[in-house]
């Protein structure tokens, strides 16, 4: 499994709805509310051969209430 993170900027007043939709879809491993430029930090795991760009585009960015995303791909855990 390959871990990666997505920072999500939500439309105003939609952070909790977006977080609940992600949780209901059982796509995310962990979902955090954050302060700053983005509203949520979400950790995902996908199979080794999964195209992360397509996953984010098709499974995450299609959730209503999401305004913008930033994907963080990780390389090694210490």
pLDDT tens digits for 7-57?
A: 999 999 999 999 999 999 999 999 999 999 999 999 999 999 999 999 999
36: left (phi over 0), alpha (psi -120 to 50) or beta: left
- Residue 15 host element (H or E): helix 15-25
Closest CA to 68 of 23, 14, 20, 32: 14
Q: What is the pTM of this model?
A: 0.93
| CA separation for the pair 11, 65 (Å, rounded) | 5
pLDDT confidence of residue 47:
96
Q: Which CATH number fits domain 2-73: 3.30.70.920, 3.30.2130.10, 3.40.50.720, 3.90.1720.10?
A: 3.30.70.920
Q: In the chain, what is the greatest distance between 2 CA atoms, to the nearest angstrom?
A: 36
**DSSP-based three-state secondary structure for 64:** coil
Give the pLDDT band (50/70/90) at residue 77: confident
């Amino acid at each position: 499994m390959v871990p990666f993170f997505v920072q999500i900027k939500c439309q105003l007043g939609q952070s909790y709805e977006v977080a609940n939709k992600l949780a209901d879809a059982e796509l995310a491993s962990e979902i955090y509310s954050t302060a700053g430029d983005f509203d949520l930090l979400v950790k995902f795991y996908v199979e080794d051969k999964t195209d992360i760009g397509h996953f984010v585009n098709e499974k995450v960015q299609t959730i209503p209430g999401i305004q913008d995303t930033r994907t963080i791909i990780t390389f090694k855990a210490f």
